[in-house]
Structure 1
Amino acid sequence: MTVEDPLFATPSSEDIERTMDILGENGVSLVHLQFSDIAGGGRTVSIPTALLPRVFRRGFRFDGSAMSGGMRQVEVDLFLMPDPSTLVVLPPLPDRPRRAFIYCWVTRRGGQPFAGDPRTILQKQLNRASAIGLDYRVGIELEFYLYKGESLATASFESPHVSPSYFSDSDVGTALVRDHIVAWTHELGLGVHGAHHETGPGQQEIDLRHLGGIRIADQLNSTRQLIRVIAEQHNMKVTFMAKPFDDAPGSGMHLFQRLLKLDDGTDLLRGEDGADISAIAGHMIAGQIRHASAMSAILNTTVNSYKRLADGHRAPAWATWARVSESSLLRVPSTPEGTLTDIELRSPDPMANPYLAIAVALGAAVDGIEQKLDPPGAFDENLVHYNEEEFARFGVEQLPQTLGEAITNLTHDDTMREILGHFIVDQLLTVKRAEWDAYRRHVSPWEHIQYGEL
């Protein structure tokens, strides 16, 4: 089985031989074939290392219903095609076989791209950007909580008698876990360039350096897996929920976007003649603001996501941009002379599918650039000082406040449907409508407490 589509290349004999040499030198006996389902969940098929050359050539057939909550009969037989450039050999663990993982394209029989593969959707948008001379790079700030206990309901933290805060080093237990995360990810070449304590108890941030869209999404998934493994070694658990606790800040997955000229690496976002941003940067901002409400269904993909956006802890609630304010949807942070310009997208949370999140962000940016859309004025003040009437007067749109609103907005945005494809949009709408309906029908303990004695 060979992949003929130009979206991705069939591994060469040299690539396969090099991969097998690395696995042999490290004594790897088990390879995890990694792929992403439509909703963003990581999926794994484990194979003996000796079978990998055959899988490189023919693919690994699997039940396509794993991609979503069930597929039409024609989608049942799908194939995993490993990408040798993504190989990661895991450090040895006691009483475990030496393991590695490798990310895969999901294809149909004959090697044709599968319309429901998030990795393929992102590659199409990267190709679209390349066709007009753009090189899109993304860095990621990933936030999460480390805790002890059987579940979030019984969570406890390492330092109950102190109040760790932003960049705090007083939470000794989580600091040790964080140090191991940084050391492991550096050893494995995963591009983590910083980590620190966040504002919530047990809340952490890991910063991934800028890479091309596919590589950064792969590395984000790899980093998440390593965080879980390392936390378990320290008898701790990790949650990537957007808002796991009532009285603590939510966790974001901020995208730091760069746009370079493909042929020479010129920074296309930095302004000239005294301007802090370029015209292209303005078009990019305008495109992402135009599609922000529909993108929310991808960037904030669960009912829990909207509790983070409403918690008042710097998460955006309005489709604005700024140079300073961290409560805006988009921010252009200050950068030293000679440093590439970033446009930070602040609404995504860690439960989003990174491939689809980056795909819609890039697709919206390219739409703004191609149409030469003009951005609204920047809101550099703290947005809490504005009310709904004032935002309406400025023509500022409120971001969806519920998953239900986001789903409705996605159905009405033809550009998002074009970016994601009919298959993924229809599958997501089916799954997320069912999730939203189940949530609306659920009677919570809070309601029992508030209304049970009325």
Structure 2
Amino acid sequence: MSNWHDQIPQTARDYLEGRRLDEVECIIADMAGVARGKAMPAFKFDDSSKYYLPTSIFSQTITGGWAEIRDGTDLEPDMIMRPDFTTATAAPWTADWTLQIIHDAENADGTPIPTAPRNVLKRVLDLYHAKGWQPVVAPEMEFFFVGRNIDPNMPIIPPMGRTGRRAAARQAYSMSAVDEYGKVIDDIYDFAEAMGLEIDGILQEGGAGQVEINLAHGDPLVLADQVFYFKRMIREAALRHDMFATFMAKPIEGEPGSAMHMHHSVLDMATGANLFSTEAGASTDAFLHFIGGLQRHLPSAVALIAPYVNSYRRYVPDFSAPINLEWGHDNRTTGLRVPISTPNARRVENRLAGMDCNPYLGIAASLACGYLGLTEQEGPRDECRTSAYMDEDELPRTLGDAVTLFEDATALHEILGADFCQTYAAVKRDEYHEFLQVISPWEREHLLLNV
């Protein structure tokens, strides 16, 4: 391990130039996209060749319980964490000089742990590569800055801005609205530079304290790693300024939700040409097949792109969130939008995923649906040329319904892996059942004395 410094990106080397590395964080994304792992002094990392965590972290629910997986074993074995040194980056919010490194999860024989979300995305990408295809993605991250909320029984409120007022809603694209919390934005830029993360742009969204960060297009695994890192970093930047950053799909009642829109294209690995455009610049059958696959298979994948009970509060009319599988050119009311672009950049934007999804699993699910379309070679239904906001019946409206569809999706199981799908469904079932045991304020207000 003594030569691992030569394998890390230049930005990480630049961060450490002239300094002594104090600590290394060995991290891996669990089913929720939470960073799990262990931190160790740098000299300990230098002397180690393997790191271990129990495989059960992939069956842990968001509330800290463990789903029961009926696979005939209950030994809770360890997995080997293998560092991917290309992901090494600074943790610039820490008090000492720290690097964080994303690890892959392997069995003792070196085979990938099938329930690890990063491995699920790798599995999907391997299927594309076997066909000679290279998928390209560009995520958009929407999230809210909110006031510190230390009592879960209290509603979430917008943060206090530099004017001494709470952040205002309905100020989309307003530069003044972004300037209200300019100091935390400055920290995000500074942290991103230290980490080697590229921000394509930051803008104010429609909600109070809601911000969108766009990322440049690239390799899906690299972009999923970046979203994973960004979520952690943005939370840390917000805490420095007495506020929270939340990636909940719908944190504030009456405000819009937060999406993770994903732009997709597919390149020919041999030529670099976009499979969605002909040499003359027209759209191709592959372009239509990809859209057709999204239309047919996304309902079964909603449990992956809308993974919590709160996710379905975003799927409501009149809040700029498409609740449909229509497709159209430059039509933001459709769930599947084709942005204005040159032929070389022709792409499909999946607008259905929430920002609360695990980025590895959200991207894997969307690409899996597109892959099925490319291999099934069935086109989409006719393009929607009007408003599609009235189409509301194509997607499951509760987590329970979404998990049922996912459990029956044999085509998706073959792409994502049966072991993963079984574990994921069990985790989501447990989370949904636990939620159903909670009595809400709405029930107490309207039912306590009236029924």
Instruction: Give the residue type in structure 2 aligned to 1:288.
Output: L
Please show how residues 379-390 of structure 1 align to structure 2 within 5 Å.
Answer: 379-384=384-389, 386=390
Task: Choose the corresponding residue for 1:445, options 437, 441, 449.
Answer: 441
Task: Choose the corresponding residue for 1:190, options 169, 193, 197.
Answer: 197
Given the alignment of the two structures, is residue 417 of structure 1 paired with residue 417 of structure 2, yes or no? Answer: no
Given the alignment of the two structures, is residue 296 of structure 1 paired with residue 302 of structure 2, yes or no? Answer: yes
Task: Choose the corresponding residue for 2:321, options 300, 304, 315.
Answer: 315
Q: Deviations over 1:408-451 (max 9, x none)?
A: 11111111111221221111221211222232333211111112
Q: How far apart, in 1, do the equivalents of 2:208 and 2:423 lie?
A: 37
Q: How far apart, in 2, do the equivalents of 1:369 and 1:422 lie?
A: 21
Instruction: Give the residue type in structure 2 aligned to 1:345.
Output: N
Give the equivalent residue in structure 1 for 2:28: 35
Give the equivalent residue in structure 2 for 1:167: 173
Deviates more, 1:158-167 or 1:359-368: 158-167
CA contact (8 A) 2:148 2:244 kept: yes
Given the alignment of the two structures, is residue 66 of structure 1 paired with residue 57 of structure 2, yes or no? Answer: yes
Please show how residues 37-436 of structure 1 align to structure 2 within 5 Å.
Answer: 37-55=30-48, 58-69=49-60, 70=66, 72-91=73-92, 93=94, 96-151=95-150, 153-157=155-159, 158=161, 159-160=165-166, 163=169, 165-171=171-177, 172-271=179-278, 275=282, 277-335=283-341, 337=342, 340-384=345-389, 386=390, 398-436=394-432
Instruction: Give the residue type in structure 1 aligned to 2:74.
Output: Q
Instruction: Give the residue type in structure 1 aligned to 2:363.
Output: I
Q: How far apart, in 1, do the equivalents of 2:59 and 2:417 lie?
A: 15
SS of corresponding position for 1:447: helix
CA contact (8 A) 1:134 1:262 kept: yes
CA contact (8 A) 1:169 1:175 kept: no
Deviation at 1:357, TM superposition (A): 1.5
Q: How far apart, in 1, do the equivalents of 2:119 and 2:340 lie?
A: 33
SS of corresponding position for 1:178: helix
- CA RMSD of the aligned region, Å? 2.3
- Tell me: CA distance 1:311–1:41, structure 2 relative to 1, closer, same or farther (3 Å): farther
CA contact (8 A) 1:33 1:46 kept: yes
Q: How far apart, in 2, do the equivalents of 1:199 and 1:316 lie?
A: 15
SS of corresponding position for 1:145: strand
- Tell me: CA distance 1:161–1:229, structure 2 relative to 1, closer, same or farther (3 Å): closer
CA contact (8 A) 1:138 1:258 kept: yes
CA contact (8 A) 1:360 1:419 kept: no
Q: Deviations over 1:328-364 (max 9, x none)?
A: 22111001x3651221011111211111211121122
The TM-score, its normalising length taken from structure 2, stands at 0.89
- Tell me: CA distance 1:404–1:161, structure 2 relative to 1, closer, same or farther (3 Å): closer
The TM-score, its normalising length taken from structure 1, stands at 0.88
Q: How far apart, in 2, do the equivalents of 1:366 and 1:163 lie?
A: 38
- Give the % identical residues: 28
Give the gaps of 5 or more residues in structure 2: 61-65
- Tell me: CA distance 1:378–1:139, structure 2 relative to 1, closer, same or farther (3 Å): same
CA contact (8 A) 2:7 2:86 kept: no
CA contact (8 A) 1:249 1:311 kept: no
Q: How far apart, in 1, do the equivalents of 2:237 and 2:321 lie?
A: 28
Give the equivalent residue in structure 1 for 2:63: none
CA contact (8 A) 2:137 2:263 kept: yes
Instruction: Give the residue type in structure 2 aligned to 1:114.
Output: I
SS of corresponding position for 2:380: coil
Instruction: Give the residue type in structure 2 aligned to 1:65.
Output: S
Instruction: Give the residue type in structure 2 aligned to 1:229.
Output: E
Q: Deviations over 1:112-158 (max 9, x none)?
A: 21111111111111111011111111111100000223346252432
Deviation at 1:15, TM superposition (A): 4.7
CA contact (8 A) 2:172 2:206 kept: yes
- Tell me: CA distance 1:106–1:326, structure 2 relative to 1, closer, same or farther (3 Å): same
Which structure's relative contact order is higher, taking Cα pairs within 8 Å and 6+ residues apart? 2
Deviation at 1:404, TM superposition (A): 1.1
Give the gaps of 5 or more residues in structure 1: 1-10, 389-396
Instruction: Give the residue type in structure 2 aligned to 1:190.
Output: L
Q: How far apart, in 2, do the equivalents of 1:54 and 1:124 lie?
A: 31
